């Protein structure tokens, strides 16, 4: 797993990858966004792992996050599938928005949720885990200290062009991750090579 941290050790992103696939990927370092490219048979798979500033952060931090996300996205080929996932620290709620946000979200949309929707609309990205009907326990992704509040602030998103490649997305609250977040797990149908020429890691 690669990790990128700020000098204050506040931000960090990581992406686990099977040992058998180590020669098929390329990655760059970043604090809040990490683009990874995995070589495929007919197309390459682009993955951006994100960690947005928390609700206590200022507007400048949030703007920088979206600037970094824009930069990461521009490094991905538009014709290839793009998956963006991680902690966006935004609540999208239950209300459907065009073909971007489904009706199976959780809670009430907040201002950060509106900003995320605006970004997704501009970039033709759909929020995958709002499109699959699941019980509430399979929707929430974060819990407050003492488990008094549960919210959905982590998302698995995919480029609109490849939305049919995402077959399922839900959380696994029973996973013991020693975290106040729970994993969001997606099931995809994409064809990728097993044996690839190793990339040179970009520093």
159-179 pLDDT, tens digit per residue, is 999 999 999 999 998 887 778
- Cβ–Cβ < 8 Å for 92, 155: yes
Tens digits of per-residue pLDDT, 28-46? 555 566 666 666 666 788 9
Q: Tell me the pLDDT tens digit for each residue of 44-61.
A: 889 999 999 988 899 999
Domain edges within the chain = 4-188
CA distance 5 to 71: 18
pTM comes to 0.80
Are the C-beta atoms of 52 and 63 separated by less than 8 Å? no
What's the number of CA atoms in the CB half-sphere (13 Å) around residue 19? Answer: 0
* CA 174/CA 182 separation, integer angstroms: 8
Taking only the tens place, the pLDDT of each residue in 50-93 is: 999 988 899 999 999 999 999 999 988 888 999 999 999 999 99
Q: Does domain 4-188 match CATH 3.60.10.10?
A: yes
Per-residue H/E/C for 60-108:
HHHHHHHHHHHHHHHCCCCCCCEEEEEECCCCCCCCCECCCECCCCCCC
């Amino acid at each position: 797993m690669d990790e990128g941290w700020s000098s204050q050790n506040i931000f960090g992103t990581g992406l686990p990858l099977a040992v058998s696939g180590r020669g098929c990927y390329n990655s760059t370092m970043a604090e809040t966004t990490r683009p990874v490219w995995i070589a495929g048979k007919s197309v390459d798979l682009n993955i951006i792992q994100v960690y947005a500033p928390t609700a206590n952060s200022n507007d400048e931090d949030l703007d920088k996050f979206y600037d970094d996300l824009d930069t990461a996205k521009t490094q991905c080929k538009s014709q290839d599938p793009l998956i963006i996932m991680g902690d966006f620290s935004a609540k999208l709620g239950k209300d459907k928005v065009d073909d971007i946000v489904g009706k199976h979200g959780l809670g009430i949309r907040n201002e950060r949720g509106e900003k995320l929707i605006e970004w997704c609309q501009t970039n033709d990205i759909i929020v995958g885990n709002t499109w699959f009907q699941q019980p509430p326990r399979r929707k929430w992704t974060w819990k407050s200290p003492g488990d008094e509040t549960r919210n959905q602030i982590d998302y698995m998103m995919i480029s609109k062009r490849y939305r049919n490649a995402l077959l399922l997305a839900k959380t696994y609250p029973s996973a013991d991750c020693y975290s106040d977040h729970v994993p969001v797990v997606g099931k995809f149908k994409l064809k990728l090579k097993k044996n690839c020429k190793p990339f040179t890691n970009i520093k």
